[in-house]
Structure formats: structure tokens, C-alpha cells
Amino acid sequence: MKTSSKEPQAAALEWRVSMPGGASRALEPAPAAAGERRRCSSRMCICSRLGLGMGIGGFLERAWKMARNEPKKVMHCVKVGLALSLVSLFYYMRPLYDGVGGTAMWAVMTVVVVFEYTVGATLCKSVNRATGTFLAGALGMGVHWVASHAGDNLQPVILQASVFILATAATFSRFIPSVKARFDYGAMIFILTFSLVSVSGYRVDKLFEMAHHRLSTIAIGTSLCVITTMVVSPVWAGTELHNIINTNMDRLSDSLNACVAEYFKDGDDDDAKASDGGKNEAAATTKALHGYKCALNSKTTEESMANFARWEPAHGSFNFGHPWKEYLKVGASLRSCAYCIEALNASIASDAKAPDFLKKHFSKFCVRLSGSSSALLKELAISIAAMKKSSRTDLMVEEMRNAVRELQNALKSLSTQWMASTGEMASDTGEEKASPRVVTLTKIVPLVTVASLLIEIAARTETVAQTVTGLADKAEFKVESAEETKKFQSQKV
Amino acid sequence: MKTSSKEPQAAALEWRVSMPGGASRALEPAPAAAGERRRCSSRMCICSRLGLGMGIGGFLERAWKMARNEPKKVMHCVKVGLALSLVSLFYYMRPLYDGVGGTAMWAVMTVVVVFEYTVGATLCKSVNRATGTFLAGALGMGVHWVASHAGDNLQPVILQASVFILATAATFSRFIPSVKARFDYGAMIFILTFSLVSVSGYRVDKLFEMAHHRLSTIAIGTSLCVITTMVVSPVWAGTELHNIINTNMDRLSDSLNACVAEYFKDGDDDDAKASDGGKNEAAATTKALHGYKCALNSKTTEESMANFARWEPAHGSFNFGHPWKEYLKVGASLRSCAYCIEALNASIASDAKAPDFLKKHFSKFCVRLSGSSSALLKELAISIAAMKKSSRTDLMVEEMRNAVRELQNALKSLSTQWMASTGEMASDTGEEKASPRVVTLTKIVPLVTVASLLIEIAARTETVAQTVTGLADKAEFKVESAEETKKFQSQKV
């Protein structure tokens, strides 16, 4: 009893410390005199500084946590620093600096702008920058030549008109999805270079030299970027995409299992969870339950990764021309599965509960179906991760179909049982109403919904299996060797 | 009969014309001699050119279609051209050109890089560019001052180290979500400017002058962009976000209605659709059915629009500091509604069909519930569009709840009916089996699923209503006047 009276104070103290900018107010009376006010304002100043400091502290703490969790990102930052240090050597070395006519600045700029997180994105931007500059430079010089032969009065008109028309057209091309996906940056660089060349051509006489320097500095910058990004712990967009799909599939599988386990768990389990050991377990379950969410909004990431992956050379187990588009199909099928799991999650969380004996009766079939769907997803994830055609997939699909049939039969048998019990009831006139065996349709609604969603999820999992087979065919996954199959089976036993 | 024999030929001819690169092969024998081969290869050349031409033609056709459908995008392109033409005047006017020390190039570059589709994005980039340049310039000059006082040997070491450390840190900051959302571009410009200033400071003696020119050209470029984007038919990110949410809500409402109508439609309707007039209707229905899909993947767009909208000044009915984050909440609740409609769509498309008499019995209640949910969504969409608090929302929520209760009662009454019929069956021993009134549980599974998904959708629609109320409160929507309410009611009657 003693502690309970102290707890609020302790909590208030803690709040005073933890709440940025809102400290030491609660326990004091409102100040009235000027002196009080001054003291208060200076206190507020300290508080707001404390709050700011804490805000910055919190920000740094989160940043540090991120850095520890994702060392690859830290490595990327170091790589950018390295590439910039290397390119700035151009300034310190006289011969290099003079070699590019003092425009080493463009090389620095190229490095800053082109260096991206993944190799594919860096390559994409490099190629776009080089191509855009070259095309616009050539076109700009052509226009400049035409304009210079058109007389002094017409020259600025032609130049201005060409800038207007080409900038408008190139900007429009950036809205077209197919161009946007691959050449967005190139189109921007095209506009930039064309404007610079055609406009500055009016003043700078050494246009050819300028173009030459510009191209060579860009070549230096991009090649430096490409070498750094590919040599120093490279992050491949293709591998990232591969891993995203894999992780999502794994999480979906866990989520499905957790969902069904949560629904059919005994009431006793709840009591067990109240204990300390159970809390961690509960947190793990909640994490697994919401695992499907990662797949819901991954479309944009997947698409951009697939776009960048196309630019990458062969790396690891991926050849150039690896069918990255197939991953998008797998991703889409996973997403459609995730939508269904979302609905399943909702009906599990709903207030309407089915009677316990019915749940127990169905538990076996539902758990079996969800187990076989999630096992299939896991198997597909392993197959993608190992890039091997699994010999067990067909068998597992068949198993899943059987589980669907069994669940459907269970629903049928339930109706037969029910008929029997309601038949009895009809003849017994009323007394049976209190019997636990008699259920109304409203009570089985949640159960039927869960069952039919599970059947739908099984159908969608089959689609996932089909898309994975499509990927395996196009990417020419090798068939698993007999040894590997044996090894797997022995692990299973 | 005559026409039928000709049709395949006509179709083949059409195919020959329409198929890019695959023309005039089908009706001719395979060529064997060298002459034939040559002729064939020249024909193939023509064909591939034809194919290429058609490919380009198709591309241009799609582009033209896009231009006609989205005149705002065309206008944006014209605006970019206009801004570039204006900025290039700096080159032609001697006094302006000399005023910025011949570095008018930076102004052109700023326009190309900073000009974005929406006002918010342009402002965000402008502010980022100016701030990043200023901060990095100041810091770069500080570092340069320190380095120049450290002796000739230490100077390049200090400069290199500072570039490495600051580039690494700034790149890392770009990974932090809160920085990435608002200051991603600023961080890049910071790295760029700092590298340029601290590195070129080693050579360029007139550092102050360079910094001054750089800042003034950027100021010219950004202000030109901002003025052009805000004066010439501005596209506001806030308005776009407002419209996206509105459209999605509208489409969701239509989709829900179409879904339920499709499920409960009579078999006779199918025959009617086979006619020519029915085809258009079918296409419209399909479009409405899939309308919910627009909400599924709109998260990224909504978030970026909300980010840009925060930079925008007051425009239209939106003040500066309009609660754009609330729109994201509405968007999220709409998405969760869309996931459920997706599941509903799947169960409607499934093979398992409920018996007709049951469907008819339920049709009334389901259509009423879906109707009230979709009417509520429509009402909320109108309320957002008009930025007025609707006086009917609460009533409609209540109506929807009643519809939910009625559907639940219908499920209950079904079970009573069923009991009666199965009771009869149990006493009648077998003869009733053929009666259409006897249904097994498996047959009602799809119907129960649809009903329970509709109930879930109603619950989620209520969440949408709550988020819209939150938005209305924070954005201080005005209460609808009595006249407007009357007008609406008279329209309804």
C-alpha cells in the first residue's frame, strides 16, 4: 500500500524528465509577481533548451540505432565520402586539373548527383547522365550552327524557340510511364545540357572544347562512382529485390500461422501469457501477426528495384538479363495474399466468437489448411532463396488441396450434425434449447468466414506457387539434387 | 454462310496490317532459293521498319492520348519551357549577364532542377536548394579559413578530411525518414556545395565573390520558378491530395455498390448483357468493380503530396497550416476499407454459389447494408469536397448500424427457418431432400462470407467517418447551412 501512494509521484517525476519542454510545471502554483514571472521565464528558457537538447538527443539516438541495425547504409555513406575524396584529388593534382581545362567541378558534381545506394541505380543514373549530355550536346551544337548561319537578328529567336520546344517536349516525355521508369533522369539532364549549350553557345566561343571537357569530366565522375559502388561492398538492386520478395513471403507465412493459432488458441493460453515469460511470447506473436503488413505497401519499392536491377551486370547467382519482371509478378501475388490475410486478421479480432466446441471441432481442419498453406509459402521462399526448383512444391500444393477438401467436408459434416441436433430439437420441443450442441447460424458466422477466407488464401497461395514456377522456369533454376531432397527430408523427420 | 468463309481471310489481312513486324507471312510458302531469301530479307527489313514505325506510332498515340486526358501535365511542360526561356534571357542581356559575373549558367541549372509539377514540390526544392547552398557555403568558407591558417602541408589534409566527414554524415542523414521526407534534396545540395567550395577554395582566390554569385543566381532561378509555377495555372500539391482522397472515396463507394449488385443480380440480367447495349453497361460495371484498386497502392503518392502540401502558402480554401496529416489518416482508413472490398470481390468471384432462393432472401438486407455504407462514403466525399461538416453523417452512420443489425437478424431468422425445414426433413424421412428449401451448410458459406465481410466493411466505413470528422474538426470545416441541407433533401426526394 505504501508503494502505491508513491507511484504517481515517481511517474510525475519521470514524466518531468522525459517530456521535452514541459518540465517542472505540474507540482508548482502559478506565479503571479514580476519576479516570479522572470524566474519562471528563465526556467522556461532552460526547459525549452532542455527540450531541444532532448529532442536532438532522441534524434541522435534513433540515428545511432538505425546505423547499428543497418550497417549497409553506413557503408554507403562511407563510400560516398570516399568517392568525393577521390574526385577532389583532381583539384590538388595540377596535371589532372589542367587536363580537363579547369572544369574539374563537373566531376565533383557528377559524383554527388549520380552516387546512389544500389549499383543498379548508380549505373542507371550514370548512363542517363552520359547519354543525356551527349545527345543534348550534339543537338545543341547543331541548333547553334543553324542559328549562327541565320543572321544576328534571327539567332537569339531560333535559340530561344529551340530551348522552349525541346524543354517542353522533354518534360512531357518524363510523364510517360515507360520513359519515367528508365530515362527520367536522362530527360532532365538532356534539358539541362541543351539549355546550357544552346544558350551559352551565344557567348562562349570555344563550344567544342567546352563540350569535350564536360563529357570527359562526366566520364571521370561516373566511372569513379561505378567503380566505387561496385568494388567497395556493393549493394545490388537485384539482390535487394530478391531479398524483399523472400522476406515478405516468409513473413506472410508466419503471419498466417500466427493468425490461425491466435484464433483457435485455448482460453487457458491467455492466463499463461499474463506471466512475465508469456509477455515476450505475446510480443513475438503480435509481431508475427502483423508481419503481413510489410507486403501490403511494397509495390513501389519492388518496382523501382526491378527497374534498377535491369541495369546491373551479372552478380552472385544472377546473370545479366535475369527475369526481374517475374519477381514483380510474385510480389503482386503475395500482395493479393496479404489483402486476404488482412481480412482474416479483422475477422479474428472481431467481437463475435464462435462457440468453443465448434471451434475445437474445426480447429484441426483450419490449422491443417493454414499450416499447409504457410508451409508451401515457406517452401517457395526457400526455393527462391536457394534458386533451386523444389521437388516438393507439387506435393505440397496437392496436400493443401486435400486440406481444403477436408475443411469443406468438415463444413458439410457440421451441417449434417446440426441437422441431427436441430431435428432432435424440433421433436423435443424446446428443452434442448439450452444444450450446448444447439447453435444458431449467427454463432457460426465468424467460423464460416474464417474457413472461407482460409480457402481463398489457399487459392491465392497456389497463384503464388504458379508465379514462383514462372520465375523458376524463366530464371532457369536448377532442379534440386537427390541429396538435397534427402537432406531436407531427414531434417523434416 | 458466304460471309463466314470470308471472315478468317479478312481477319488474317487485318492481322497482317495490325501486327507490327509480322506482316505478309501467313499466306505465302517458305522461300528456298537465294533470290527468294534476299527478297525475303529485304521484306523483313521493310517489315521491321514497319514494326518500328508502328511501335513509334503507338507510342506517340499513347502520348497524345495522355496529353488530351491530362491537360494539366501539358501545361506544366509549357511552364517549364517558359521558365527556361525567361532565364536564358540572362544570357542575351549584357547587363544582367555581367551582373552575376558570367555565372548565369547556375540560374539555368536551378530552373531545370528545381521546377517540379506541383507548387509545393517546387517550393520544397527551392528552399532546400537555397538553404543547403547557404549553409554549406558558410561552413565551407569556415573550413577553408581554418585550413588556410594551418600551413601548406596540412591544408589539403584538412580540406579532404572535412569533405569526407561531412559528405558521409550528410549522406547518412538522408536515410533518416524525417530528414528524407523534407530535406533530402537539401542534404544533397549541401554535400555538393560544400565539396565545391572547400575544394575549389584551394584554387579559386575570389571565394567570396563566387559564393555571392552562386547565391544570387540561385535566388534568381528559384524565384523565377516559384513565380512561374504559382502564377501560370498552378498545380497545388494540397489540392491534388484533397482530390485523390475524394476520388478514392467516391470510387470505393461505387465499387462496393457494384460488387454487391453483381453478386445479387438475377440470372436474367446476364442474358440482357449479351446484347450490344448491355456490353457498354458490362464494361462500366467492370470498371466500377475494380475502382477500389486505386486506393490500394496510393500510400506513396498521398504521403509525398502531404509532404509537399506543407510547404504551400494559403490557396483556394486551404490555409497555410491546413492539417494535411489528417488526410493521410483518412487515406489509411480508406485503404483498410479497400482491402476488405478486395476480399469481398474475391468471394463474389468464387465458384461456390449460394442457392437462388437464399440469395433472394438475403439480397434485400445485403443491398441495404452496402447501400448505406456506400451512401455514407459518398456523403463523406461530398463533405470533404465542399469542406463543410455534413449534418447527415451521424444519421447515416446510425442507418448503417441499423442495416448491420437487420442483416444479423436475417442471419438469425435464416437459422430458425432452416431448423424448421431440417426438422420437417428429419420427420419426413428422405422425400424432402429434393425440396429447394433444404440447404446444407456448405451452400451458404459464400453467402455468410459476403454478409460478414459487408459487416466488416461497415465497421471500417465507420472508421473512415471518424477520420473525416477528425479532419473536419482540425481543418475547421463550417457546418452546412440549413438551406444547403434543405437543398440536399429536396434533391434526394
- Does some domain include residue B36? no
Is B302 within 8 Å of B331 (Cβ atoms)?
Answer: yes
Q: Count CB atoms within 10 A of the CB of residue A66.
A: 15
Nearest by CB to B171, which of A80, A195, A419?
A80
Identify the pLDDT of residue B32.
44
Sequential DSSP letters for A214-267: HHHHHHHHHHHHHHHHHHSS---HHHHHHHHHHHHHHHHHHHHHHHHHHHH--H
- Does some domain include residue A205? yes
With an 8 Å Cβ cutoff, is A446 touching chain B? yes
pLDDT at A92 exceeding the cut of 90: no
With an 8 Å Cβ cutoff, is A196 touching chain B? yes
Q: Which residues in chain A have their CB less than 8 angstroms from residue B336's CB? A: 342
Instruction: Give B140→chain A minimum CA distance, Å.
Output: 14
Q: What angle do CA A389, A394, A395 make, to 5 degrees?
A: 120
pLDDT at B90 exceeding the cut of 50: yes
Identify the pLDDT of residue B461.
93
Least confident of A1-5, A29-33, A305-309, B51-55: A1-5
Q: Which residues in chain A have their CB less than 8 angstroms from residue B200's CB? A: 91, 105
With an 8 Å Cβ cutoff, is A108 touching chain B? yes
Identify the pLDDT of residue A247.
92
pLDDT band, very low/low/confident/very high, at A142 (cuts 50, 70, 90): confident
Q: What is the DSSP letter of B30?
A: P
Q: Given A213, A231, A249, which residue is the final one in a domain?
A: A231
Measured CA to CA, the distance from residue B261 to residue B344 in angstroms comes to: 12
Give the tens place of pLDDT for each residue, B140-158. 888 888 888 888 888 888 8
Question: Is B148 found in the same domain as B289?
Answer: no
Q: Which residues in chain A have their CB less than 8 angstroms from residue B192's CB? A: 108-109, 112-113
CB contact under 8 A, B445 and A453: no
Q: Per mean pLDDT, which of B124-138, B355-369, B405-419 is the most reliable?
A: B124-138
Closest to A337 (Cα-Cα) out of A263, A259, A398, A243 = A259
Q: Given B231, B262, B286, which residue is the final one in a domain?
A: B231
Question: Is B183 found in the same domain as B244?
Answer: no
CB contact under 8 A, B422 and A427: no
As a whole number, mean pLDDT of residues A210-237 equals 88
Identify the pLDDT of residue B490.
65
Q: Which residues in chain A have their CB less than 8 angstroms from residue B300's CB? A: 297, 300
CB contact under 8 A, B199 and A172: no
User: Percent of chain B at pLDDT above 70?
Assistant: 76
Mean pLDDT of chain A: 79
Question: Is A199 found in the same domain as A278?
Answer: no
Nearest by CB to B164, which of A84, A165, A343?
A84
Identify the pLDDT of residue B423.
47
With an 8 Å Cβ cutoff, is A425 touching chain B? yes
- Does some domain include residue A348? yes
Instruction: Give B386→chain A minimum CA distance, Å.
Output: 30
pLDDT band, very low/low/confident/very high, at B185 (cuts 50, 70, 90): very high
Amino acid at B440: T
Measured CA to CA, the distance from residue A338 to residue A350 in angstroms comes to: 18
pLDDT band, very low/low/confident/very high, at A49 (cuts 50, 70, 90): low
Question: Is A458 found in the same domain as A340?
Answer: yes
User: Percent of chain A at pLDDT above 70?
Assistant: 76
Q: What is the largest CA-CA distance in chain A?
A: 110
Alpha helical stretches, state H, B429-481: 441-474
Closest to A233 (Cα-Cα) out of A68, A65, A71 = A71
B344-383 residues touching A, CB cutoff 8 A: 346-347, 350
Report CA-CA distances (Å) from B183 to A143, A189, A221, B131.
38, 22, 24, 10
CB contact under 8 A, A196 and B296: no
- Does some domain include residue A30? no
Q: Which three cell numbers stand for residue B120?
A: 509545393
CB contact under 8 A, B91 and A203: yes
pLDDT band, very low/low/confident/very high, at A352 (cuts 50, 70, 90): low
Give the tens place of pLDDT for each residue, A432-481. 343 444 456 667 778 888 888 899 999 999 999 999 999 999 888 888 77
With an 8 Å Cβ cutoff, is B184 touching chain A? no
Q: Which residues in chain A have their CB less than 8 angstroms from residue B74's CB? A: 172
Identify the pLDDT of residue B403.
92
Least confident of B5-14, B53-62, B78-87: B5-14
Nearest by CB to A449, which of B173, B441, B448?
B448
Give the tens place of pLDDT for each residue, A397-436. 999 999 999 988 887 776 666 555 554 444 444 443 434 4
Question: Is B244 found in the same domain as B202?
Answer: no
Q: Given A189, A210, A231, which residue is the final one in a domain?
A: A231
Instruction: Give B294→chain A minimum CA distance, Å.
Output: 13
pLDDT band, very low/low/confident/very high, at B64 (cuts 50, 70, 90): confident
As a whole number, mean pLDDT of residues B359-371 equals 87
pLDDT band, very low/low/confident/very high, at A23 (cuts 50, 70, 90): very low
Question: Is A277 found in the same domain as A157?
Answer: no
Question: Is B306 found in the same domain as B193?
Answer: no
Q: Which of A422, A443, A447, A455 to mutate to test the interface with B (most CBs of B within 10 A)?
A: A422
With an 8 Å Cβ cutoff, is B446 touching chain A? yes
Q: Which residues in chain B have their CB less than 8 angstroms from residue A200's CB? A: 91, 105
As a whole number, mean pLDDT of residues B203-227 equals 81
pLDDT band, very low/low/confident/very high, at A202 (cuts 50, 70, 90): low
Instruction: Give A402→chain B minimum CA distance, Å.
Output: 16
Identify the pLDDT of residue B67.
84
Local structure of A22: helix, strand or coil: coil
Question: Is B479 found in the same domain as B337?
Answer: yes
Question: Is A244 found in the same domain as A191?
Answer: no
pLDDT at A157 exceeding the cut of 80: yes
Local structure of B415: helix, strand or coil: helix
Measured CA to CA, the distance from residue B94 to residue A472 in angstroms comes to: 65
- Does some domain include residue A224? yes
Least confident of A211-215, A260-264, B257-261, B383-387: A211-215
pTM for this model (two decimals)? 0.80
B294-333 residues touching A, CB cutoff 8 A: 296-297, 299-300
With an 8 Å Cβ cutoff, is B224 touching chain A? no
pLDDT band, very low/low/confident/very high, at B428 (cuts 50, 70, 90): very low
Alpha-carbon torsion angle A198, A202, A203, A204, nearest 10: 50
As a whole number, mean pLDDT of residues A306-328 equals 89
pLDDT at B390 exceeding the cut of 90: no
With an 8 Å Cβ cutoff, is B196 touching chain A? yes
With an 8 Å Cβ cutoff, is A63 touching chain B? yes
Show the domain range for B471.
238-492
pLDDT band, very low/low/confident/very high, at B119 (cuts 50, 70, 90): very high
User: Percent of chain A at pLDDT above 90?
Assistant: 32
pLDDT at A182 exceeding the cut of 80: yes
A460-479 residues touching B, CB cutoff 8 A: none
Q: Which three cell numbers stand for residue A166?
A: 525541346
Residue of chain B whose alpha carbon sits nearest to that of A187: B112
Q: Which residues in chain A have their CB less than 8 angstroms from residue B105's CB? A: 196, 200
Q: Per mean pLDDT, which of A211-215, B343-347, B437-441 is the most reliable?
A: B343-347
- Does some domain include residue B29? no
Measured CA to CA, the distance from residue A365 to residue A371 in angstroms comes to: 10
CB contact under 8 A, A112 and B191: yes
Identify the pLDDT of residue A244.
93
Question: Is B187 found in the same domain as B317?
Answer: no
- Does some domain include residue A353? yes
Domain count of the fold of chain A: 2
Nearest by CB to A176, which of B66, B113, B425?
B66
Q: Which residues in chain B have their CB less than 8 angstroms from residue A77's CB? A: 167-169, 171-172, 175
pLDDT at A1 exceeding the cut of 50: no
Phi and psi angles of residue B389, each rounded to the nearest 5 degrees, phi first: -75, 125
Q: Which residues in chain B have their CB less than 8 angstroms from residue A214's CB? A: none
As a whole number, mean pLDDT of residues A298-314 equals 91
CB contact under 8 A, A105 and B415: no
As a whole number, mean pLDDT of residues A346-363 equals 77
Instruction: Give B193→chain A minimum CA distance, Å.
Output: 9
Question: Is A353 found in the same domain as A285?
Answer: yes
Instruction: Give A74→chain B minimum CA distance, Å.
Output: 7
Mean pLDDT of chain B: 79
Q: Which residues in chain A have their CB less than 8 angstroms from residue B448's CB? A: 441, 444-445, 448-449, 452
pLDDT band, very low/low/confident/very high, at A326 (cuts 50, 70, 90): very high
Q: Per mean pLDDT, which of A176-180, A227-231, A410-414, A478-482 is the most reliable?
A: A227-231
Q: Which residues in chain A have their CB less than 8 angstroms from residue B414's CB? A: 441
Q: Which residues in chain A have their CB less than 8 angstroms from residue B424's CB? A: 426
As a whole number, mean pLDDT of residues B254-275 equals 72
Q: Which residues in chain A have their CB less than 8 angstroms from residue B297's CB? A: 297, 299-300
Q: Which residues in chain B have their CB less than 8 angstroms from residue A456's CB? A: 343, 346-347, 350
Nearest by CB to A456, which of B203, B346, B441?
B346
Q: Which residues in chain B have their CB less than 8 angstroms from residue A74's CB? A: 172
pLDDT at B36 exceeding the cut of 80: no
As a whole number, mean pLDDT of residues B449-456 equals 88
Give the tens place of pLDDT for each residue, B188-213. 999 998 888 877 766 556 677 777 88
Measured CA to CA, the distance from residue B84 to residue B107 in angstroms comes to: 9
Instruction: Give A108→chain B minimum CA distance, Å.
Output: 7
Which residues pair with residue B478 across a beta bridge? B388
Identify the pLDDT of residue B17.
32
Identify the pLDDT of residue B9.
37
Sequential DSSP letters for B348-389: HHSS----HHHHHHHHHHHHHHHHHHHHHHHHHHHHHHHTEE
Length of chain A: 493
Question: Is A212 found in the same domain as A258?
Answer: no
- Which CATH number is A390's domain given? 1.20.58
Q: Which residues in chain A have their CB less than 8 angstroms from residue B418's CB? A: 422, 441
- Does some domain include residue A23? no
Give the tens place of pLDDT for each residue, A95-131. 666 666 667 778 888 999 999 999 999 999 999 999 9
CB contact under 8 A, A347 and B105: no
Measured CA to CA, the distance from residue B203 to residue A3 in angstroms comes to: 70
